[in-house]
Each structure stands twice: as C-alpha cells, then as structure tokens.
C-alpha cells in the first residue's frame, strides 16, 4: 500500500499492487459477457463517472467501494458516507479493468433483490413497460427520460437489457438508481396484472389511428406506456394486450424514431399537459 490519506471521514488508499483482491470488483469490464458473469457471481454492479457515483451514494443501493484515478482523488475525500476509496494512476486502472479509462471514477455496489411488480405499480400513475430493448444505451436513455418526465416506475420483460449494467447507468446519468424498476418474469401475463391494477396499456405505433395529442387530452388516470425493440416493435402477444395504440405525427417519408426519443416525446407531452415541471 503506497499511502493512507485521511481527509474528512474518508481514508483514501493509494494501492500499490494490481492483484490486490479489493480490486476484484472492477476486473474484466471490456468483455460484456465475462463481466456479466463476474457481476452475477459476486452479486454486484458497477457505475462509472462522477454523476453516477453521486447518484449511487445518495440511493438505496449499498456502495462497496470507489475506485478513482489519483488526479481526481481529492474530489472524494469529503464524501459523507462510510465507503472505502481506492486510488490508482489512470493507466493502472486501465490494466485492472481492461478499458480505456477517462471518466475518472468507478464504484461497485451490491446488487439488490428487485421489488415485485405490485410494489412498483403500487401507488404509481405513470409506468414505462419495456419489452425486448436489449441495447444498454437505449435502456439508460429510457431511465433518464423516465426521471425527467415524472414516470413512477419501469417494468422490464425477461429479455430487456440490464439497467444496472455500467453503460446503462452512465447514459442515464445515474437516474437508473433513482427510478424504481422490476423485471416481470411472467410475460405477457404481467400486462394483464397491470390492467387488473387499473392501468390503461398504451403502445406507440407508427401505424396507429390515434394521434398522440388525443391521448394527451384524454389521458387515463393510470397509464402504462409500452415500448418494444427497434425494428421488431412489440411482440404479437404484447400488441394483443394493449388497450390503445398511439402514433407520433412525423414528416412524410419518416415513420419512426429511436425508442428513447419516442418515449421522450410522448412522456414530455403527457408531463406538460399536467402542468408539471419548471418553465424557463
């Protein structure tokens, strides 16, 4: 160990050995499948970047440690939580993780058990329901949109990408750690469960007859917005369960936009109609 620097409540440990077992939470970040195996085996997830680390420390998730590049170490000396902070030169962090390291900081946290569908739906009025969106950046963007536009929770089908994967948390700017979510193993039975709880199931569809503006003016009290994979869209079973199909009007020659963009357009319209949020 090179040095132990005390500042505020945190002791920043400048590690000397790259085989230090305290660094094992951070290995194999480059290889997605191998990394997922590490996280499953250790019951952890990782976040990257200052905003995501701040969100982690303020969340219900238990941080295990912070790994910071030495030039940025002082930034974490005053962190008011009892979490070990390990510091290394950036080039050595790259050796440990296997990835080019330019965001300055990583953190590892315990992966919790997910809440039940009933717990997430509970008192919610707006839900995002995501089927087969397997791109981590799209998942992260969806959670960022959900936080921005007042969504109370996110429901994922069994095939959707992991919101706690490093790339998703980074793209979400840490909002994955703030918006409640669950994964529904019973699919598409979970959609019927939401309907029984009083939700109207609404899908965005380029070919729908109902324009978004009509949904905004007649939005149900409890609304679950369904989003499918880009290209394929929702599965036939999910389509059959939907109560309303809504389209976003677009210029001639364009029939769709990115799934996260479509969600942002619809959610922003619903959010604005309720007179919520700040105005500049």
Q: pLDDT for 102-112, tens place per residue?
A: 789 999 999 99
The pLDDT assigned to 101 comes to 76
Is residue 240 within 8 A of residue 228, CB to CB? The reply is: no
pLDDT confidence band for 10 (50 / 70 / 90): low
For the domain 3-110, what is the CATH code? Answer: 3.30.1330.30
Range of weakest confidence among 128-132, 237-241, 261-265, 275-279: 275-279
Alpha-carbon gap, residue 26 to 32, rounded angstroms: 13
pLDDT higher than 90, residue 279: no
Give the model's confidence band at 275: pLDDT under 50 very low, under 70 low, under 90 confident, else very high: low
Residue 25 has pLDDT above 50, yes or no: yes
- Residues 45 and 39: beta-carbon distance below 8 Å: yes
188 preceded by a cis bond (ω within 30 of 0): yes
Determine the pLDDT at residue 206: 86
CATH 3.40.1280.10 domain locations along the chain: 117-273
Closest alpha carbon to 151 in 180, 131, 174, 112: 180
* Residue-wise pLDDT tens digits, 49-102: 999 999 999 999 999 999 999 998 888 877 767 899 999 999 999 999 999 877
Average pLDDT, the chain: 91
Residue 156: per-residue pLDDT: 98
- For the residues of 232-279, what is the DSSP string, one character each? TBS-HHHHHH-SEEEE----TT-----HHHHHHHHHHHHHHHTT-S--
Average pLDDT over residues 110-133: 97
Q: How confident is the model at residue 4 (pLDDT cuts 50, 70, 90)?
A: very low
Distance in angstroms (rounded) separating the CA atoms of residues 106 and 123: 34
Strand ranges across the sheet with 105-110: 3-7, 10-14, 85-88, 63-69, 105-110, 44-48
Q: What backbone phi and psi angles, to 5 degrees, belong to 83?
A: -130, 130
* Domain 117-273 CATH superfamily: SPOUT methyltransferase, trefoil knot domain (3.40.1280.10)
Q: Does residue 3 surpass a pLDDT of 60? A: no
Does the structure show a pLDDT above 80 at 274?
Answer: no
Q: Where does the chain hold its CATH 3.30.1330.30 domain(s)?
A: 3-110
DSSP 46: E
> Which tens digits make up the pLDDT trace of 166-220?
999 999 999 999 999 999 999 999 999 999 999 999 999 888 999 999 999 999 9
Question: Higher model confidence: residue 8 or residue 199?
Answer: 199
- Please report which confidence band the pLDDT of residue 2 belongs to, taking 50, 70 and 90 as the band edges: very low
Average pLDDT over residues 254-273: 94
């Amino acid at each position: 160990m090179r040095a132990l620097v005390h500042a505020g409540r945190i002791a920043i440990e400048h590690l000397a050995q790259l085989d230090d077992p305290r660094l094992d939470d951070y290995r194999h970040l480059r290889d997605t499948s191998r990394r997922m195996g590490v996280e499953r085996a250790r019951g952890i997830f990782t976040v990257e970047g200052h905003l995501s680390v701040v969100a982690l420390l303020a969340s219900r998730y238990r941080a295990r440690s912070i790994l910071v590049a030495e030039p940025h170490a002082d930034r974490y000396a005053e962190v008011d939580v009892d979490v070990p902070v390990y510091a290394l030169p950036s080039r050595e962090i790259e050796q440990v993780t296997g990835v080019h390291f330019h965001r300055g900081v990583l953190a590892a946290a315990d992966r919790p058990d997910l809440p039940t569908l009933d717990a997430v739906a509970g008192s919610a009025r707006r839900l995002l329901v995501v089927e087969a969106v397997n791109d981590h950046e799209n998942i992260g963007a969806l959670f960022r949109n959900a936080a921005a536009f007042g969504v109370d929770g996110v429901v994922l089908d069994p095939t959707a990408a992991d919101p706690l994967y490093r790339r998703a948390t980074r793209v979400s700017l840490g909002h994955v750690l703030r918006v409640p979510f669950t994964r529904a193993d019973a699919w598409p039975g979970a959609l019927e469960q939401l309907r029984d709880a009083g939700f109207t199931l609404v899908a965005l569809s380029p070919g729908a007859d109902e324009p978004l503006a009509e949904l905004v003016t007649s939005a149900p009290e409890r609304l679950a917005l369904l989003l499918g994979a880009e290209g394929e869209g929702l599965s036939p079973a999910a389509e059959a369960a939907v109560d309303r199909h809504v389209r976003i009007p677009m210029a001639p020659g364009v029939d769709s936009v990115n799934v996260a963009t479509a969600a942002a357009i619809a959610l922003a319209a619903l959010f604005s109609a309720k007179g919520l949020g700040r105005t500049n």
